[in-house]
Copies of this chain bind each other. A is one copy, B any other.
Amino acid sequence: MVEKDTRRRTIHDVAQAAGVSISTASNALNGTGRTNAETRERVIRVAKEIGFRPNALARGLLSKRSHAIGMLTNDTYGRLTLPMAAGVSEVLVDHGLSVFLCATNNDPRLARLHLEALLDRQVDGIIFTATRLDLEPPAELAKLAIPVVYAFAEGPPETISFFPDDAQGARLAVEHLKGLGRSRILHITGPEDYLSVRIRAEAYCESFGKGAEVHYGDWSEEWGHEAIDAVFSRPGEKPDAIFCGNDEIARGVIDALRDIGITVPKDVAVVGFDNWEVISRQTRPPLTTVDMELKEIGRRAGLAILRLTQGEAVPTGITRLSCRLVVRQSCGGQAG
């Protein structure tokens, strides 16, 4: 009985089958050196026939480029990190780069463990992402010899970071509401110690002007309820629009309004933030909300790493990427 050889084919096998030396095979396959057109064709044909694929480890060992990057994330695979990872991967896969995903779960020990593993693997670069903008990235990162890009996280000076443009997103929401004729717009949002919360609140105040009113709380539906109950039970003029810090709060707001007999969007228009579809599509009415374009942030971060690994320069500093307003039915206007 003949044993089938299950070994992977190497360039040695190609050379032997094509009747040339290893170096000639390599030159032919990579288009380097000087090779006769006929031999080159033959080598390529033979390589395809026997199913040769170069060993990335050997290649990386020599070139000192592993064609892999690491993605280090702060959180346990939350909803922010993953769309970004999709964007990163999307940009890189066609350039032959693969992505190691490392969840540090906010544990410094785990972060160091993963970081060391990545360096041992000679990754070409690292993308660091966080769930909160104002969370400090591990200091070791800044000292590495390989490129590092921060996405949804801010690195030290002279590094490269990508963020959603929170201020522009907030303005988008407020301008939309103003454009629909709303004049008493409230802002109900998350905890004030989040940087993004402060930026959005500030942009809201500037854009809306006199009469702006911000209610800080937490990221829950519960809080949306509470805030509405408080606002509508006090005397005086009532708001005709609510700009919410995220979609969960918006959902609570909408439910609370319905409970006290106020119609959305006729009496009060509501805008959310995040476009977390499981929530925003399922509210009644479906929620108009600000999408942070996380996938695009991932794409840009991936592109930056790609350029850096190719030795090109990428401008340092923070790049803020535009948010997009997703119009559904919670504001009235064209969609009714």
Residues of A within 8 A of B (CB): 6, 53-58, 60-61, 66, 68, 76-77, 82-83, 85-86, 89, 93, 96, 98-103, 105, 110, 113-114, 116-122, 145, 220-222, 248, 251-252, 276, 278-279, 282
Contact = CB atoms under 8 A, between A and B. Distances in A.
A151 to B, nearest CB: 15
21 contacts: A53-B116, A56-B121, A56-B122, A57-B60, A57-B66, A61-B61, A68-B100, A76-B86, A77-B82, A77-B86, A82-B82, A86-B103, A86-B105, A93-B102, A93-B110, A93-B113, A93-B117, A98-B114, A98-B121, A99-B100, A99-B101
A120 to B, nearest CB: 4
A163 to B, nearest CB: 20
Nearest to A93: B113
A57 B122 contact: yes
A101 B122 contact: no
Nearest to A83: B77
A148 to B, nearest CB: 15
A6 to B, nearest CB: 6
Nearest to A94: B113
Contacts of A100: 68, 98-101
A144 B42 CA distance: 28
A58 B62 CA distance: 9
Contacts of A85: 77, 101, 103
A73 to B, nearest CB: 11
Contact of A102 (B89, B113, B220): B89
A6 B76 CA distance: 34
A117 B58 CA distance: 14
